Amino acid sequence: MAFRRLEDADVSGARVLVRVDFNVPMKDGIVSDGTRLKAALPTINALHKRGAKTILLSHFGRPKGKREPGMSLGAVMQALSVLLDTKVHFADNCIGDRARFAIDAMKDGEVLLLENTRFHPGEESNDPALARQMAALGDIFVNDAFSAAHRAHASTTGIAALLPAFAGKAMERELDHLEKALGNPQHPVLAVIGGAKVSTKIALMENLVSKVDMLCVGGGMANTFLHALGKPVGTSLCEKDYAPTALAIISAATKNDCALLLPSDVVVAKAFAANTPSQIVGLDAVADDDMILDAGPKTVAALIAAMDHAKTVIWNGPLGAIELPPFDRATNEAAKACAERTRAGKFISVAGGGDTVSALNKSGAAQDFTFISTAGGAFLEWMEGKALPGVEALKI
Protein backbone atom coordinates (compact mmCIF):
# COMPACT_ATOMS: atom_id res chain seq x y z
CA MET A 1 0.00 0.00 0.00
CA ALA A 2 1.33 3.41 -0.94
CA PHE A 3 0.56 6.14 1.59
CA ARG A 4 2.14 9.40 2.66
CA ARG A 5 4.60 8.91 5.53
CA LEU A 6 5.80 11.36 8.14
CA GLU A 7 9.36 11.38 6.79
CA ASP A 8 7.96 12.80 3.53
CA ALA A 9 6.72 15.94 5.29
CA ASP A 10 8.67 19.17 5.82
CA VAL A 11 7.66 19.91 9.42
CA SER A 12 10.40 22.26 10.64
CA GLY A 13 8.68 25.22 12.30
CA ALA A 14 5.29 24.00 11.07
CA ARG A 15 2.12 23.71 13.11
CA VAL A 16 1.47 19.97 12.93
CA LEU A 17 -1.96 18.70 13.95
CA VAL A 18 -1.55 15.10 15.11
CA ARG A 19 -4.61 12.91 15.57
CA VAL A 20 -3.77 10.48 18.37
CA ASP A 21 -5.90 8.05 20.35
CA PHE A 22 -5.70 9.07 24.01
CA ASN A 23 -8.97 7.36 24.92
CA VAL A 24 -7.16 5.72 27.82
CA PRO A 25 -8.57 3.98 30.92
CA MET A 26 -8.67 6.17 34.02
CA LYS A 27 -9.02 5.36 37.72
CA ASP A 28 -9.58 8.10 40.29
CA GLY A 29 -8.55 10.71 37.74
CA ILE A 30 -5.25 9.01 36.92
CA VAL A 31 -4.31 7.12 33.74
CA SER A 32 -4.32 3.43 34.70
CA ASP A 33 -2.91 2.08 31.42
CA GLY A 34 -0.60 4.26 29.33
CA THR A 35 -0.29 1.91 26.34
CA ARG A 36 -1.96 4.32 23.94
CA LEU A 37 0.09 7.26 25.21
CA LYS A 38 3.28 5.28 24.67
CA ALA A 39 2.18 4.36 21.14
CA ALA A 40 2.19 8.07 20.22
CA LEU A 41 5.69 8.78 21.55
CA PRO A 42 7.68 7.91 18.38
CA THR A 43 5.67 10.41 16.32
CA ILE A 44 5.77 13.13 18.97
CA ASN A 45 9.52 12.66 19.48
CA ALA A 46 10.20 12.68 15.74
CA LEU A 47 8.32 15.97 15.36
CA HIS A 48 10.10 17.44 18.39
CA LYS A 49 13.51 16.61 16.93
CA ARG A 50 12.57 18.20 13.63
CA GLY A 51 11.44 21.44 15.27
CA ALA A 52 7.71 21.17 14.70
CA LYS A 53 4.99 22.62 16.87
CA THR A 54 3.15 19.41 17.79
CA ILE A 55 -0.58 19.92 18.41
CA LEU A 56 -2.39 16.80 19.62
CA LEU A 57 -6.04 16.03 18.88
CA SER A 58 -7.96 13.14 20.44
CA HIS A 59 -11.38 11.98 21.55
CA PHE A 60 -11.98 10.72 25.07
CA GLY A 61 -15.04 8.78 26.18
CA ARG A 62 -18.53 9.44 24.84
CA PRO A 63 -19.58 12.97 25.83
CA LYS A 64 -22.11 13.04 22.97
CA GLY A 65 -21.23 16.45 21.64
CA LYS A 66 -21.26 18.41 24.85
CA ARG A 67 -18.67 19.47 27.40
CA GLU A 68 -18.36 16.91 30.21
CA PRO A 69 -15.75 17.87 32.85
CA GLY A 70 -15.17 14.22 33.73
CA MET A 71 -14.13 13.53 30.14
CA SER A 72 -11.56 16.29 29.79
CA LEU A 73 -8.22 15.37 28.25
CA GLY A 74 -6.61 17.65 30.83
CA ALA A 75 -6.37 14.56 33.05
CA VAL A 76 -4.05 12.95 30.48
CA MET A 77 -1.62 15.87 30.27
CA GLN A 78 0.45 14.99 33.36
CA ALA A 79 0.91 11.32 32.37
CA LEU A 80 2.00 12.36 28.88
CA SER A 81 4.44 14.93 30.29
CA VAL A 82 6.08 12.22 32.40
CA LEU A 83 6.43 9.87 29.43
CA LEU A 84 7.89 12.59 27.21
CA ASP A 85 10.03 14.02 30.01
CA THR A 86 8.97 17.49 28.91
CA LYS A 87 6.16 19.89 29.68
CA VAL A 88 2.99 19.34 27.69
CA HIS A 89 0.80 22.42 27.35
CA PHE A 90 -3.00 22.21 27.33
CA ALA A 91 -5.79 24.23 25.72
CA ASP A 92 -9.36 23.67 26.90
CA ASN A 93 -10.81 23.66 23.40
CA CYS A 94 -9.80 22.13 20.07
CA ILE A 95 -11.09 25.08 18.00
CA GLY A 96 -11.45 28.83 18.33
CA ASP A 97 -9.51 31.53 20.13
CA ARG A 98 -8.40 29.48 23.14
CA ALA A 99 -6.76 26.90 20.94
CA ARG A 100 -5.32 29.52 18.59
CA PHE A 101 -3.83 31.63 21.41
CA ALA A 102 -2.19 28.53 22.92
CA ILE A 103 -0.71 27.60 19.53
CA ASP A 104 0.55 31.14 18.89
CA ALA A 105 2.41 30.97 22.21
CA MET A 106 4.22 27.74 21.27
CA LYS A 107 7.91 27.57 20.49
CA ASP A 108 9.33 25.19 17.89
CA GLY A 109 9.62 21.68 19.34
CA GLU A 110 6.92 22.17 21.98
CA VAL A 111 3.86 19.95 22.50
CA LEU A 112 0.28 21.10 23.02
CA LEU A 113 -2.70 18.88 23.85
CA LEU A 114 -6.11 20.19 22.76
CA GLU A 115 -9.37 19.41 24.51
CA ASN A 116 -11.60 16.43 23.67
CA THR A 117 -12.77 16.60 20.04
CA ARG A 118 -16.05 14.93 20.99
CA PHE A 119 -17.09 17.92 23.07
CA HIS A 120 -18.32 19.21 19.69
CA PRO A 121 -21.45 17.65 18.11
CA GLY A 122 -19.94 17.88 14.63
CA GLU A 123 -16.99 15.60 15.40
CA GLU A 124 -18.68 12.25 14.90
CA SER A 125 -20.83 13.49 12.01
CA ASN A 126 -17.73 14.81 10.20
CA ASP A 127 -19.21 18.29 10.02
CA PRO A 128 -17.29 20.27 7.36
CA ALA A 129 -17.48 23.50 9.36
CA LEU A 130 -15.91 21.88 12.42
CA ALA A 131 -13.21 20.26 10.26
CA ARG A 132 -12.38 23.66 8.76
CA GLN A 133 -12.06 25.20 12.24
CA MET A 134 -9.69 22.43 13.31
CA ALA A 135 -7.67 22.58 10.11
CA ALA A 136 -7.25 26.35 10.47
CA LEU A 137 -5.05 25.67 13.51
CA GLY A 138 -2.37 23.78 11.56
CA ASP A 139 -0.24 23.61 8.45
CA ILE A 140 0.12 19.84 8.24
CA PHE A 141 -2.04 16.94 9.44
CA VAL A 142 -0.65 13.65 10.78
CA ASN A 143 -2.98 10.75 11.58
CA ASP A 144 -1.42 8.46 14.16
CA ALA A 145 -4.66 6.86 15.40
CA PHE A 146 -5.29 3.66 13.46
CA SER A 147 -7.77 2.68 16.17
CA ALA A 148 -10.01 5.54 14.99
CA ALA A 149 -9.32 5.06 11.27
CA HIS A 150 -12.57 3.17 10.67
CA ARG A 151 -14.57 6.27 11.62
CA ALA A 152 -15.07 9.18 9.23
CA HIS A 153 -14.90 11.96 11.83
CA ALA A 154 -13.99 15.63 11.53
CA SER A 155 -10.66 15.10 13.31
CA THR A 156 -9.67 12.20 11.05
CA THR A 157 -10.96 12.34 7.48
CA GLY A 158 -12.34 15.88 7.70
CA ILE A 159 -9.01 17.57 8.42
CA ALA A 160 -7.18 15.19 6.05
CA ALA A 161 -9.19 16.60 3.15
CA LEU A 162 -8.10 20.15 3.99
CA LEU A 163 -4.39 19.87 4.85
CA PRO A 164 -1.42 17.87 3.53
CA ALA A 165 -1.99 14.56 5.35
CA PHE A 166 0.57 11.97 6.45
CA ALA A 167 0.67 8.77 8.50
CA GLY A 168 2.35 8.95 11.89
CA LYS A 169 4.83 6.36 13.12
CA ALA A 170 2.25 4.20 14.92
CA MET A 171 -0.13 4.34 11.96
CA GLU A 172 2.73 3.51 9.60
CA ARG A 173 3.79 0.50 11.66
CA GLU A 174 0.21 -0.75 11.80
CA LEU A 175 -0.37 -0.41 8.07
CA ASP A 176 2.95 -1.98 7.14
CA HIS A 177 2.30 -5.06 9.29
CA LEU A 178 -1.30 -5.47 8.20
CA GLU A 179 -0.18 -5.29 4.59
CA LYS A 180 2.33 -8.07 5.26
CA ALA A 181 -0.33 -10.13 7.04
CA LEU A 182 -3.24 -9.85 4.64
CA GLY A 183 -2.69 -7.31 1.86
CA ASN A 184 0.39 -8.90 0.31
CA PRO A 185 1.37 -11.82 2.57
CA GLN A 186 3.76 -14.69 2.20
CA HIS A 187 1.79 -17.89 1.69
CA PRO A 188 0.69 -20.21 3.18
CA VAL A 189 -1.36 -17.95 5.47
CA LEU A 190 -3.01 -19.34 8.60
CA ALA A 191 -5.78 -17.36 10.29
CA VAL A 192 -6.82 -18.25 13.84
CA ILE A 193 -10.26 -16.85 14.64
CA GLY A 194 -11.85 -17.36 18.05
CA GLY A 195 -14.36 -15.70 20.31
CA ALA A 196 -17.88 -16.20 21.52
CA LYS A 197 -20.21 -15.62 18.59
CA VAL A 198 -20.28 -16.36 14.87
CA SER A 199 -22.72 -13.47 14.39
CA THR A 200 -20.02 -10.88 15.19
CA LYS A 201 -17.48 -12.32 12.75
CA ILE A 202 -19.45 -13.37 9.68
CA ALA A 203 -17.93 -10.72 7.39
CA LEU A 204 -14.49 -11.49 8.78
CA MET A 205 -14.65 -15.20 7.99
CA GLU A 206 -16.31 -14.63 4.62
CA ASN A 207 -13.40 -12.41 3.64
CA LEU A 208 -10.69 -14.66 5.07
CA VAL A 209 -11.74 -17.90 3.36
CA SER A 210 -11.02 -16.23 0.02
CA LYS A 211 -7.59 -14.95 1.09
CA VAL A 212 -5.95 -17.40 3.49
CA ASP A 213 -4.84 -20.98 3.02
CA MET A 214 -5.89 -22.28 6.44
CA LEU A 215 -8.60 -21.02 8.80
CA CYS A 216 -8.84 -22.26 12.37
CA VAL A 217 -12.15 -21.56 14.12
CA GLY A 218 -12.18 -21.74 17.92
CA GLY A 219 -13.96 -20.45 21.00
CA GLY A 220 -17.71 -20.45 21.45
CA MET A 221 -18.21 -19.69 17.77
CA ALA A 222 -16.79 -23.11 16.89
CA ASN A 223 -19.80 -24.68 18.64
CA THR A 224 -22.10 -23.19 16.01
CA PHE A 225 -20.05 -24.90 13.30
CA LEU A 226 -20.13 -28.21 15.19
CA HIS A 227 -23.90 -27.94 15.62
CA ALA A 228 -24.29 -27.16 11.91
CA LEU A 229 -22.38 -30.38 11.16
CA GLY A 230 -24.75 -32.38 13.37
CA LYS A 231 -22.49 -32.71 16.39
CA PRO A 232 -23.96 -32.49 19.92
CA VAL A 233 -23.06 -29.33 21.85
CA GLY A 234 -25.05 -29.85 25.08
CA THR A 235 -25.64 -26.62 26.97
CA SER A 236 -22.73 -24.82 25.28
CA LEU A 237 -22.90 -21.30 23.95
CA CYS A 238 -24.17 -21.87 20.42
CA GLU A 239 -25.96 -19.64 17.92
CA LYS A 240 -28.10 -22.36 16.35
CA ASP A 241 -29.90 -19.89 14.11
CA TYR A 242 -26.56 -19.26 12.40
CA ALA A 243 -26.06 -22.88 11.38
CA PRO A 244 -26.84 -22.04 7.71
CA THR A 245 -24.22 -19.27 7.87
CA ALA A 246 -21.66 -21.70 9.25
CA LEU A 247 -22.42 -24.19 6.46
CA ALA A 248 -22.07 -21.42 3.86
CA ILE A 249 -18.63 -20.54 5.25
CA ILE A 250 -17.63 -24.21 5.18
CA SER A 251 -18.75 -24.40 1.53
CA ALA A 252 -16.89 -21.20 0.65
CA ALA A 253 -13.73 -22.53 2.28
CA THR A 254 -13.93 -25.69 0.16
CA LYS A 255 -14.57 -23.65 -2.99
CA ASN A 256 -11.54 -21.43 -2.27
CA ASP A 257 -9.25 -24.33 -1.33
CA CYS A 258 -8.98 -23.01 2.22
CA ALA A 259 -8.40 -25.75 4.80
CA LEU A 260 -10.91 -25.25 7.63
CA LEU A 261 -9.68 -26.39 11.04
CA LEU A 262 -12.49 -27.10 13.51
CA PRO A 263 -12.19 -28.77 16.93
CA SER A 264 -11.63 -32.52 16.83
CA ASP A 265 -11.89 -32.86 20.61
CA VAL A 266 -13.17 -30.53 23.33
CA VAL A 267 -12.98 -29.86 27.05
CA VAL A 268 -16.38 -29.99 28.74
CA ALA A 269 -17.76 -29.20 32.19
CA LYS A 270 -21.17 -29.10 33.84
CA ALA A 271 -20.85 -25.50 34.99
CA PHE A 272 -19.39 -22.23 33.70
CA ALA A 273 -16.95 -21.69 36.56
CA ALA A 274 -13.23 -21.57 37.18
CA ASN A 275 -11.57 -24.86 38.15
CA THR A 276 -14.83 -26.77 37.94
CA PRO A 277 -14.40 -30.54 37.22
CA SER A 278 -13.86 -31.09 33.50
CA GLN A 279 -12.91 -33.76 31.00
CA ILE A 280 -11.66 -34.12 27.45
CA VAL A 281 -14.11 -35.81 25.08
CA GLY A 282 -14.52 -36.54 21.39
CA LEU A 283 -17.06 -34.62 19.36
CA ASP A 284 -19.68 -37.40 19.54
CA ALA A 285 -19.35 -37.76 23.33
CA VAL A 286 -20.66 -34.35 24.44
CA ALA A 287 -23.51 -35.06 26.88
CA ASP A 288 -26.79 -33.14 26.98
CA ASP A 289 -25.71 -31.37 30.20
CA ASP A 290 -22.12 -30.74 29.07
CA MET A 291 -20.78 -27.29 28.28
CA ILE A 292 -17.88 -26.96 25.82
CA LEU A 293 -15.40 -24.52 27.38
CA ASP A 294 -12.13 -25.16 25.54
CA ALA A 295 -10.49 -26.93 22.64
CA GLY A 296 -8.92 -30.29 23.41
CA PRO A 297 -5.27 -31.36 23.06
CA LYS A 298 -5.77 -33.04 19.65
CA THR A 299 -7.24 -29.81 18.32
CA VAL A 300 -4.31 -27.81 19.66
CA ALA A 301 -1.84 -30.30 18.15
CA ALA A 302 -3.56 -29.96 14.75
CA LEU A 303 -3.35 -26.17 14.96
CA ILE A 304 0.34 -26.28 15.85
CA ALA A 305 0.92 -28.68 12.94
CA ALA A 306 -0.78 -26.14 10.66
CA MET A 307 1.59 -23.47 12.00
CA ASP A 308 4.49 -25.59 10.83
CA HIS A 309 3.24 -25.18 7.26
CA ALA A 310 2.60 -21.43 7.52
CA LYS A 311 4.64 -18.40 6.49
CA THR A 312 2.13 -15.91 7.91
CA VAL A 313 -0.18 -16.23 10.92
CA ILE A 314 -3.08 -13.86 11.71
CA TRP A 315 -4.72 -14.23 15.12
CA ASN A 316 -7.99 -12.83 16.44
CA GLY A 317 -9.76 -14.14 19.52
CA PRO A 318 -9.30 -16.92 22.11
CA LEU A 319 -9.87 -20.65 21.61
CA GLY A 320 -11.75 -21.14 24.88
CA ALA A 321 -13.14 -19.47 28.00
CA ILE A 322 -9.80 -17.88 28.87
CA GLU A 323 -11.20 -16.03 31.87
CA LEU A 324 -11.81 -19.37 33.62
CA PRO A 325 -8.78 -21.58 34.32
CA PRO A 326 -8.09 -24.28 33.21
CA PHE A 327 -10.12 -23.40 30.10
CA ASP A 328 -7.38 -21.03 28.97
CA ARG A 329 -5.06 -23.96 28.27
CA ALA A 330 -5.66 -24.31 24.52
CA THR A 331 -5.20 -20.58 23.90
CA ASN A 332 -2.05 -20.46 26.05
CA GLU A 333 -0.43 -23.51 24.44
CA ALA A 334 -1.23 -22.45 20.87
CA ALA A 335 -0.10 -18.86 21.54
CA LYS A 336 3.21 -20.04 23.01
CA ALA A 337 3.78 -22.30 20.01
CA CYS A 338 3.07 -19.37 17.69
CA ALA A 339 5.46 -17.15 19.64
CA GLU A 340 8.24 -19.77 19.57
CA ARG A 341 7.99 -20.16 15.80
CA THR A 342 7.89 -16.41 15.31
CA ARG A 343 11.00 -16.03 17.45
CA ALA A 344 12.71 -18.71 15.37
CA GLY A 345 11.95 -16.76 12.19
CA LYS A 346 9.62 -19.39 10.69
CA PHE A 347 6.82 -16.92 9.99
CA ILE A 348 5.49 -13.48 10.83
CA SER A 349 2.58 -13.31 13.27
CA VAL A 350 0.09 -10.46 13.52
CA ALA A 351 -2.68 -10.36 16.12
CA GLY A 352 -5.32 -7.95 17.30
CA GLY A 353 -8.94 -7.10 17.94
CA GLY A 354 -11.22 -7.51 20.91
CA ASP A 355 -9.85 -9.50 23.83
CA THR A 356 -6.98 -10.92 21.78
CA VAL A 357 -4.37 -8.63 23.31
CA SER A 358 -5.25 -9.56 26.90
CA ALA A 359 -5.36 -13.25 25.96
CA LEU A 360 -1.88 -13.17 24.44
CA ASN A 361 -0.50 -11.09 27.31
CA LYS A 362 -1.92 -13.60 29.78
CA SER A 363 -0.23 -16.46 27.93
CA GLY A 364 3.12 -14.68 28.11
CA ALA A 365 3.45 -14.99 24.33
CA ALA A 366 2.60 -11.46 23.26
CA GLN A 367 6.13 -10.06 23.30
CA ASP A 368 7.30 -12.56 20.67
CA PHE A 369 4.55 -11.94 18.13
CA THR A 370 5.74 -9.89 15.17
CA PHE A 371 3.03 -7.29 15.77
CA ILE A 372 0.00 -6.94 18.02
CA SER A 373 -2.58 -4.32 17.17
CA THR A 374 -4.52 -2.66 19.98
CA ALA A 375 -6.95 -1.11 17.52
CA GLY A 376 -9.98 -3.34 18.11
CA GLY A 377 -12.73 -2.35 15.68
CA ALA A 378 -10.41 -0.91 13.04
CA PHE A 379 -8.33 -4.11 13.04
CA LEU A 380 -11.45 -6.24 12.56
CA GLU A 381 -12.81 -4.06 9.77
CA TRP A 382 -9.45 -4.24 8.02
CA MET A 383 -9.57 -8.04 8.26
CA GLU A 384 -13.10 -7.95 6.90
CA GLY A 385 -11.72 -6.29 3.78
CA LYS A 386 -13.42 -2.94 4.39
CA ALA A 387 -11.90 0.37 3.33
CA LEU A 388 -11.05 2.47 6.38
CA PRO A 389 -11.81 6.19 5.82
CA GLY A 390 -8.86 7.36 7.92
CA VAL A 391 -6.47 5.20 5.89
CA GLU A 392 -7.98 6.04 2.51
CA ALA A 393 -7.32 9.72 3.22
CA LEU A 394 -3.56 9.01 3.49
CA LYS A 395 -3.14 7.03 0.29
CA ILE A 396 -1.01 8.40 -2.50
Q: Which residues contact 350 (CB under 8 A, 6 or more apart)?
A: 177, 178, 180, 181, 312, 313, 314, 315, 369, 370, 371, 372, 373
Question: Could you confirm whether 19 is annotated as catalytic?
Answer: no
CA atoms within 13 A on the CB side of 246: 24
Distance CA 358, CA 95 (A): 36
Peptide bond into 326 cis (omega under 30): yes
Verify whether residue 354 is a known catalytic residue: yes
- The residue from 197, 231, 298, 343 that is catalytic is 197
Among candidate residues 15, 36, 50, 201, the one labeled active-site is 36
**Per-residue burial over 334-356, b = 16 or more CB atoms within 10 Å of its CB, e = otherwise:** bbbbbbebbeeeebbbbbbbbbb
Active-site entry in 219, 220, 354, 390: 354
With contact defined as beta carbons under 8 Å apart, do 85 and 122 qualify? no
DSSP state of 395: B
Our answer to whether residue 197 is catalytic in this structure is: yes
Helix H segments across the chain?
A: 35-49, 74-84, 96-104, 128-135, 159-160, 169-178, 202-208, 220-228, 243-255, 297-307, 329-343, 356-363, 377-383, 389-392
Radius of gyration of the chain (CA): 23
Q: Choose the catalytic residue: 51, 109, 377, 385.
A: 377
Residues noted as catalytic: 36, 197, 354, 377
